[in-house]
Structure 1
């Protein structure tokens, strides 16, 4: 889909902060509120804007820390459907948050979330690796998120003293 310059500008504004009021987006894009509303509606209808979501730092909520793992999956593609069919089977599991077709040593990258490492291990051994097309998996556990979708987590207390030298 080809977007106009103004439509692209609205997409970029929403990608940075989807909570901005329509009036603010209109001002930023030099559009009327009605024009902005029409553009946003069109983008939603055409599935250019798929969903509005919050980025949550779950480590700050007691009892909800959880475990995130990135799993490299090597698969045998099926004739006529390639990787799409196995990717669809994988993304239908509720634990799966993302599935990407990759270049390189592995075919798919799967991101899953669980309550514990053993829950993730159970998913890999009982659900993922038992699929017909799956040849091998390599699991990487995320130990700490520094930045996610452009949002920096915990910038830390930086020393704000002025450096003095003789």
Structure 2
């Protein structure tokens, strides 16, 4: 498109206008012959939020709403339709990350680490008892502490490997 004008080509049989970004220059300095060149197409990056897995959203919803049911089967039956999944799919996905302690539903702290044998002696992480009732703020603080300890341990390991 140049100056708001559209180019029509014989390719489309002049039935529709073909919108192309073009640049126009003279073939030579004194000539009047135009040289039409297709302008560089650049992709524009549009940031979108990272999609969260459905089970993470459901766990957050269950711990926020605190349904009166106390079994995973009942919770799965109650929320399966809202996430568009079968009860048989929802129940196993909820069995490890959430638990009912007799009073309320809570999310268990999740910690999974893959240990390289030469670094195993450097890493020592303690996760609190999952049966203990934790607020979201307490979980966040505990995970931040674990992350700091891991960062320190990885720094020590990197120093040891660089020697």
TM range (shorter): under 0.3
Name the structure where strand makes up a greater proportion of residues.
1
TM-score norm. by structure 2 comes to 0.26
Name the structure where helix makes up a greater proportion of residues.
2
Q: Which has the higher contact order (CA 8 A, sep 6+)?
A: 1
Larger radius of gyration: 2
